[in-house]
Amino acid sequence: MSDFVLKQKNGVWYGVFPRLEALNIVHAFTCRMHGQSEIVPGGLNMALHVGDKTDKVLANRQKVAEALNFNLNKATTCAQVHGNHIVSVTEKNMGSGATDFSDTIGNTDGLITNMKQVPLMLFYADCVPVILVDVKGDSIAIVHAGWRGSITNIAAKAVDIMISKYKASAENIVAAIGPSIGACCYEVDETVWNAAPKYHDCFIPTTKGHWHFNLWQVNRKQLEENGVLPDNIVCAEVCTFDNKDLFFSYRAENGKTGRLAAIVYKK
């Protein structure tokens, strides 16, 4: 687990990749403790769309913003729909969804920017967060990859945009796969198997018509296929289902839970 470590600042607990910290990339995968959520009492729910009171969620976000030293009004979010659409964040849409769900960027599961001090913030409870950084250039990206986003290559799509629009080279991109449901706990049925013929090597058969699906392996595979170097892909290998005392897990809590945030910005 040395690729990924937990930290605490001002009472906010979050995970980081030392590899990204060494590159001066501010980032965090927030934990669930010490917040003001009402749906998960005392939890650090970061999402506005899951039934918590807005002021409680904003208090949680502000606490995280202070711990990570960013301006909450510049944090940019999107309404995630398990698709693979990625939006570029510019002066024009910066801060969307920071304090009000009504102006969040719609129908989007990935954000990318070359702006400094503009945090990209997505929400998770088991789905896979992937942060991408061009270590020689300006662009950073973050995607929300559940099984649908993963098998439709959202992480690889972000790499393509970093290359085509932001002039990155694949060999200069570092990718970090955050806490999310591990193959150990992620059983799927034929719906997923049949939808993912390209990734059948990432399934482990269990009972008839059921498999454990390794989303970390799916994302790693497609990043490598798009030119990201194996040594430049780090994975937390932390299963949210197994660590529901630390992280929100949609599956472990039968859908009644909050959302952790994955956040990244360049100083």
Nearer to Zn ion by Cβ, of 241 and 250: the residue is 241
3-state secondary structure of 53: coil
- For residue 211, with 0-12 CB atoms within 10 Å meaning exposed, 13-18 middle and 19 or more buried, which class applies? buried
Least distance in Å: CB of 156 to Zn ion?
25
Least Å from the CB of residue 265 to Zn ion: 30
Phi-psi region of 97 (alpha: psi -120 to 50; beta: other; left: phi over 0): left
241/248 with CB nearer Zn ion = 241
Q: How far is the CB of 185 from Zn ion (least distance, A)?
A: 3
Other CB atoms closer than 10 Å to residue 18's CB: what's the count?
12
Determine the distance from the C-alpha atom of residue 174 to the mean position of all C-alpha atoms in its chain, rounded to a whole number.
Answer: 15
Neighbour order of strands in the sheet with 110-113: 86-88, 110-113, 140-145, 128-134, 173-177, 233-235
Question: Between residues 104 and 180, which has the closer beta carbon with respect to Zn ion?
Answer: 180
C-beta of residue 37 within 8 angstroms of C-beta of residue 56: yes
> Are the C-beta atoms of residues 153 and 84 closer than 8 Å to each other?
yes
Residue (159 or 239) nearer to Zn ion, CB: 239
| 66 CA to centre of own chain | 20
Task: Characterise 103 by phi-psi region: left (phi > 0), alpha (psi -120 to 50), beta (else).
Answer: alpha
Indicate the residue among 199 and 241 with the shorter CB distance to Zn ion.
Answer: 241
Q: Write down the residue that tokens 């039968």 correspond to.
A: 254
Nearest distance, CB of residue 189 and Zn ion, angstroms? 18
Give the nearest distance from C-beta 22 to Zn ion in angstroms.
28
Least gap, CB of 184 to Zn ion (angstroms): 3
Residues making contact with Zn ion (CB under 5 A) = 182, 184-185, 239, 241-242
Closest approach, Cβ 178 to Zn ion, in A, equals 14
Coil/strand/helix, residue 246: coil
Closer to Zn ion by Cβ: residue 123 or 216? 216
Tell me whether residue 100 or residue 237 sits nearer to Zn ion (CB atom): 237
